[in-house]
Homo-oligomer: A and B are copies of this chain.
Amino acid sequence: MQKFSMTAKNPPTTTRKPRTDALRNRLRILEVAKAAFTRQGANASLEEIAKQAGVGPGTLYRHFPTRDALIEGVYRNEVEKLAEAATYFAEKMSPIDALRAWMMLLVEYIAAKHIIAPALNTIAGGASRLHEGSRTFIHAAIDGLVKRAKKSGDLRRDLHADDLLRALIGASHMGSGADWQQSARRLVDILIAGSRPLK
């Protein structure tokens, strides 16, 4: 005896548990891809990534139909950690300090190649769909911090979180020179100083 007819479509009811091997592969791929993008930039060979992950190209493409999808996958993974940090800072610090700390962390994080720098361009403001519609975690994170600092009177009311974000992403493109940390700090300070109320 069968549940229903099984011949007709009844997608709303039947939701199968996802296969374990699929999950496993997905994670493997993301892991390998992150390393590959970090090392070789956003044009790393997908074929090679698949091979290193121990799957066929078909599998990779099923999980991530396009290169951008894969990049976005890696990106999302990393970005959630930053979002958590924002929450943490907000709890522990004064509004303005939290914002400053988080901005430094962002630059550091990207610069340390935990996130693929060149890929960010494609994604952060470029032709990708990440920005269209659903805002990024990062977006939500900095937006929260900025709102909070506005409320406390530490920041100008007319400030847009996006502006800061874009500036920071640009700042992360260096990697050049040993003094990037100095440089990042300077820029963050400039941004903060320029964002205070006009008094």
Known: A162-B183, A190-B194, A191-B190. A125 touches B167 (CB 8 A): no
A190: contacting residue among B118, B121, B159, CB under 8 A: B159
Instruction: Tell me, yes or no, whether A144 is within 8 Å of chain B by CB.
Output: no
Q: B175 contacts A126, CB within 8 Å?
A: yes
Q: How many residues of A contact B (CB 8 A)?
A: 38
Q: How far is the CB of A117 from chain B (nearest CB, A)?
A: 7
A residues 162-199 touching B (CB-CB < 8 Å): 162-164, 166-176, 183, 186-187, 189-195
Q: How far is the CB of A174 from chain B (nearest CB, A)?
A: 5
Give the chain B neighbours of A41 by CB distance below 8 A: 126-127
A194: contacting residue among B125, B169, B191, CB under 8 A: B191
Give the chain B neighbours of A131 by CB distance below 8 A: 176
Q: B160 contacts A166, CB within 8 Å?
A: no
* Nearest 8 pairs of A and B residues by beta carbon: A170-B170, A194-B194, A125-B173, A190-B194, A193-B194, A167-B167, A163-B187, A121-B121
Interface pairs (15), CB distance under 8 Å: A41-B126, A118-B122, A125-B174, A160-B183, A163-B171, A163-B186, A163-B187, A164-B190, A166-B183, A167-B187, A169-B173, A191-B191, A191-B194, A193-B195, A194-B195
